[in-house]
């Protein structure tokens, strides 16, 4: 029988083998496979550990968030494999530049991070940007990348890892908006912006159930008769302190926070309630509502919309749902299911931003889309630039040949309206005719235009 000493030796060897395997598995789980740097999960843990150590020692921790400029262009021109080669090269450069005690990570995509106790921020940032702009050869072609850097400091800017990373991201975003290839350090201006945003986030969450997000309406005009035949529904936030806020002030935030669906549903219900009597009284024919691409990605979206519509007094044939080409490009199969289901119930579907992408005509040929909306970017120069006028006229001809109705949005001048009318555009909307307005004002204008007296509230 084996001696006890031999068994213990074998057991110890097996334990060492298992421990080595565990360490390897752990290391692989914490490593970005492309660059060999630590990944996002290990970065987050490392940042928390370094902040804890800094609390005890009183040291400063600097967080640099590094992002390539125009990286998508490289992927589009040379392919994703070329992009991967560049990312691997930049990872090696950042690793070689790191100092003892630094932690370099790839957070994902073309975004990297550096955690350091270096106190000379400007010199370090300049060094990083210089490294990012060194030329590199891919497939025999010279490539000169560039990058932007955002920096936040502990304890000056933030007391925890979450805020420190958020503030560094804000600084990076500012560097990007200023043109890139530069460093931006979190400061008082960004702090004020952060506080303003956090306050607005909290207020937005409260505003939706409070009914502060309300539908406004912009008339849609028949080009031949000049009659108002429909309205487009647009969201406005009647903020108790800041007054009326346009969608640009809160929709992007709502999409980030996952609140856009709640806003769309609230606006839809309120708009249907206000506009249904206008349709019943033959003041308008159609109510047009925009839908967020994120909402459309829900496989049950069209069923839910039909169900909500059934709870209102608005006929399905009076509703137009506007979808953007972005959604078609994301998931054509899902788009087909939604559009066909809506069309089967009598709901009209309009393709918004027509003329800005590549799949519009294909969608019109293969999907039951009844309306297209010419994007305002095409309308700006019609009637003034002969080339643009010819392009728009040809697009109108193509759409008419497919049997769809054409609405031009963003009409702001008489010359635009006259050209579009002569070119065969069916309907128009824009500031030349009317700006978006609240429901009461819209109803008064509709009833006056149609010679209908305003309805009085019942007296109890």
Q: Which of 18, 428, 2 is nearest to 228 (CA)?
A: 428
User: What count of Cα atoms within 13 Å lies in the side-chain half-sphere of residue 48?
Assistant: 6
Question: Which residues in the chain show pLDDT less than 50?
Answer: 28, 359, 456-460
Q: What pLDDT does 457 receive?
A: 38
Nearest to 106 by CA among 120, 86, 80, 77: 86
> What pLDDT sits at residue 356?
61
Max intra-chain CA distance, the chain? 110
Read off the pTM: 0.70
Q: Which DSSP category does 317 fall into?
A: G
pLDDT at residue 23, rounded to an integer: 62
**pLDDT value at position 363?**
64
227 backbone dihedrals φ, ψ, rounded to 5°:
-85, 145
* pLDDT at position 459: 33
> Residue 27: its pLDDT value, please?
57
Q: Which residues contact 280 (CB under 8 A, 6 or more apart)?
A: 313
Q: How far apart are the first and last CA of the chain?
A: 103
112 closest CA partner among 100, 130, 95? 95
pLDDT given at position 104: 94
């Amino acid at each position: 029988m084996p001696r006890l000493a031999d068994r213990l030796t074998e057991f110890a060897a097996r334990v060492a083998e298992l421990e080595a395997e565990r360490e390897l598995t752990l290391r692989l789980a914490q490593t970005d496979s492309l660059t060999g740097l630590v990944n996002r999960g290990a970065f987050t843990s490392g940042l928390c550990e370094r902040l804890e150590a800094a609390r005890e020692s009183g040291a400063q921790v600097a967080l640099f968030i590094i992002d390539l400029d125009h990286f998508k262009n490289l992927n589009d021109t040379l392919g994703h494999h070329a992009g991967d080669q560049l990312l691997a090269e930049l990872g090696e450069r950042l690793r070689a530049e790191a100092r003892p005690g630094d932690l370099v990570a790839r957070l994902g995509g073309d975004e990297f991070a550096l955690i350091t106790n270096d106190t000379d921020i400007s010199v370090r940032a300049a060094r990083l940007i210089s490294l990012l702009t060194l030329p590199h050869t891919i497939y025999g072609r010279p490539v000169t990348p560039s990058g932007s850097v955002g920096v936040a400091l502990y304890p000056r800017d933030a007391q925890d890892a979450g805020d420190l990373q958020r503030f560094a991201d804000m600084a990076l975003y500012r560097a990007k908006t200023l043109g890139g290839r530069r460093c931006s350090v979190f400061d008082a201006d960004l702090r004020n912006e952060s506080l303003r945003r956090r306050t607005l986030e909290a207020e937005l969450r409260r505003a939706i159930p409070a009914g502060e997000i309300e539908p406004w309406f912009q008339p849609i005009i028949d080009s031949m008769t000049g009659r108002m035949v429909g309205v487009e529904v647009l969201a406005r936030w009647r903020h108790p302190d800041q007054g009326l806020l346009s969608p640009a002030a809160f929709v992007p935030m709502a999409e980030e926070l996952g609140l856009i669906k709640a806003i769309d549903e609230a606006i839809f219900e309120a708009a249907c309630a206000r506009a249904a009597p206008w349709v019943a009284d033959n003041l308008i024919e159609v109510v047009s509502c925009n839908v967020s691409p994120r909402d459309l990605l829900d496989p049950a979206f069209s069923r839910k919309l039909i169900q909500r519509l059934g709870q209102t007094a608005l006929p399905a044939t009076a509703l137009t749902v506007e979808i953007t080409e972005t959604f078609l490009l994301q998931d054509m199969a899902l788009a087909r299911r939604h559009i066909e289901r809506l069309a089967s119930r009598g709901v009209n579907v309009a393709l918004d931003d027509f003329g800005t992408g590549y799949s519009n005509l294909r969608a019109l040929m293969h999907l039951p889309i009844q309306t297209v909306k010419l994007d305002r970017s095409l309308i700006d120069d019609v009637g003034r630039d002969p080339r643009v006028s010819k392009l728009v006229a040809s697009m109108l001809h193509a759409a008419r040949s497919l049997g769809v109705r054409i609405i031009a949005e963003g009409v702001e001048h008489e010359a635009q309206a006259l050209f579009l009318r002569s070119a065969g555009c069916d309907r128009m909307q824009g500031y030349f005719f009317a700006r978006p307005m609240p429901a009461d004002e819209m109803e008064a204008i509709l009833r006056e235009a149609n010679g209908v007296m305003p309805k009085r509230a019942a007296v109890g």
